[in-house]
Amino acid sequence: MATLSGGLLVDEAAQEATKDALFGGSLVLFQPPRGAGYRTNVDALLLAGFATTPSPAPLGPSASPQRPPGIAFDLGAGVGAVGLALLRFGAARRVVFVEIEEGPAAMARRNLDANGWASRGEVIRGDVRDVARAHAGQATLVVCNPPYTRPGAGRASPNEQRARVGELGHFIQAARQVAGKRARVCFVYPAHELATLLSELTSAGLHAKRIRFVHSTAAAPARIALVEAQAGRSGGLRVIAPLVEREARGYTPELESLLARG
């Protein structure tokens, strides 16, 4: 996974957490110190940006008006970077952060308070499937940056085990259950495992409607895929122009714009 560097995240050493700044300092993010737990990387911000800009609505007399921001669920939220970015971008009126581990859940609550959004968010500690059953159909938007490693495959440090290793199907089942009618479900996943993600989505009754590939450079293979899915009929998939992260002089203008977005 890509990491944020070059001053985009500014660490201030603290005993239990670092206090970092996103989007040019407009968003505060407390998270574990390096080596003490899973830290936010650029994939979370790419997912938030992708979820904030859905496919254009159809035009014509039968077109439905664009719905105002509703309730978003951030599944496997960690310290809350994706959901916090949605609030910053105006993509959700309210965000429910679902996280099974107490440490990251506590930091997500701290981050809501630190950014003045305690009234616009709720952190629920629990298994995503249990929370989804209790809140079935409530979401207008679901976002998920799931573990990229299945149990028994690959290695992760004890401090990062729960964040990096998990069953993709559990998150997809939860997304399907919590998603309301016409809700959008957005995932980020390794590009080389895209077939697995699409298969799991289809098995849960979710059909891909929009895909965007992210490349580290223009000549490199796709690194991750951003996927938007919905329940209902299959078909209507749009593969939009790729996002390239770096060029000769550093970050591309599009990525710089996202990382500086306020």
CATH number reported for the structural domain that contains residue 171 in this entry = 3.40.50.150
Closest Cα to residue 117, out of 201, 228, 28, 49?
28
pTM listed for this prediction: 0.86
The dihedrals phi and psi of 195, each to the nearest 5 degrees, come to -60, -40
Each residue's pLDDT tens digit in the chain (262 positions)?
Answer: 444 433 344 334 334 889 999 998 999 999 998 888 888 999 999 999 999 987 654 444 443 445 668 999 999 999 999 999 999 999 999 999 999 999 999 999 999 999 999 999 999 999 999 999 999 999 999 999 999 866 555 555 554 545 556 699 999 999 999 999 999 999 999 999 999 999 999 999 999 999 999 999 999 999 999 999 999 989 999 999 999 999 998 999 999 999 997 5
In degrees, rounded to 5, the angle at the alpha carbon of residue 13 between the alpha carbons of residues 149 and 30 is 55
Is 227 inside any structural domain?
A: yes
In degrees, rounded to 5, the angle at the alpha carbon of residue 3 between the alpha carbons of residues 174 and 46 is 50
Distance between CA 202 and CA 139 in Å, rounded? 19
Is 58 inside any structural domain?
A: no
Is 59 inside any structural domain?
A: no
Is 60 inside any structural domain?
A: no
What is the count of structural domains for the chain?
A: 1
Task: Write down the pLDDT at residue 124.
Answer: 98
Instruction: Give the CA dihedral 22, 24, 27, 32, nearest 10 degrees.
Output: 30
Instruction: Give the CA dihedral 108, 111, 117, 123, nearest 10 degrees.
Output: 10
Is 170 inside any structural domain?
A: yes
Task: Write down the pLDDT at residue 58.
Answer: 46
List 222's β-bridge partners, or say none.
Answer: 215
Task: Write down the pLDDT at residue 69.
Answer: 84
Q: Which domain holds residue 222?
A: 18-53+67-259
Is 94 inside any structural domain?
A: yes
Is 2 inside any structural domain?
A: no
Is 107 inside any structural domain?
A: yes
Residue 255 burial (CB count, 10 A): 22
- Please give, one letter per residue, the 3-state secondary structure of the chain: CCCCCCCCCCCCCCCCCEEEEECCCCEEEEECCCCCCCCCCHHHHHHHHHHHCCCCCCCCCCCCCCCCCCEEEEECCCCCHHHHHHHHHCCCCEEEEEECCHHHHHHHHHHHHHCCCHHHEEEEECCHHHHHHHCCCCEEEEEECCCCECCCCCCCCCCCHHHHECCHHHHHHHHHHHEEEEEEEEEEEEHHHHHHHHHHHHHCCEEEEEEEEEECCCCCCEEEEEEEEEECCCCCCEECCCEECEECCEECHHHHHHHCCC
- Which residues are within 8 A (CB) of 219 and not within 5 positions of it... i.e. 6 or more apart? none
